[in-house]
Amino acid sequence: MESKTFSIPNISCDHCVMSIKKELSEIEGVSKVEGSADTKKITVEWDAPATLERLKSTLKEINYPADE
């Protein structure tokens, strides 16, 4: 299992976090999505077939691009 914490400056409220959780949870292989509007961070745990590139591209598509 892989895990990564993304810093996402566009997060402004809990609704943003809920939207991100919903979208990322729909990716096959994602097992856990946690986040906080206060820290503007999202932590994701996943296995194949999900990939880091897929997570990043999904975040970008929903207008919550992760800082590198």
Chain-wide mean pLDDT for the chain? Answer: 97
Q: Does residue 67 form part of some domain?
A: no
Closest CA to 17 of 30, 28, 6: 6
Q: Does residue 29 form part of some domain?
A: yes
Would you say 3 and 47 are in contact if contact means Cβ atoms under 8 Å apart? no
> Taking residues 55-59, what's their average pLDDT?
98
Q: Does residue 31 form part of some domain?
A: yes
Would you say 64 and 31 are in contact if contact means Cβ atoms under 8 Å apart? no
Cis peptide before 49 (omega within 30 of 0): yes
Please state the domain count of the chain: 1
pLDDT > 80? residue 68? no
* pLDDT tens string 7-21: 999 999 999 999 999
pLDDT > 90? residue 65? yes
| pLDDT band at residue 56 using 50, 70 and 90 as cut-offs | very high
Domain CATH code at residue 38: 3.30.70.100
Q: Does residue 34 form part of some domain?
A: yes
Structural domain of 41: 2-61
Q: Does residue 23 form part of some domain?
A: yes
Predicted local distance difference test score (pLDDT) of residue 2: 97
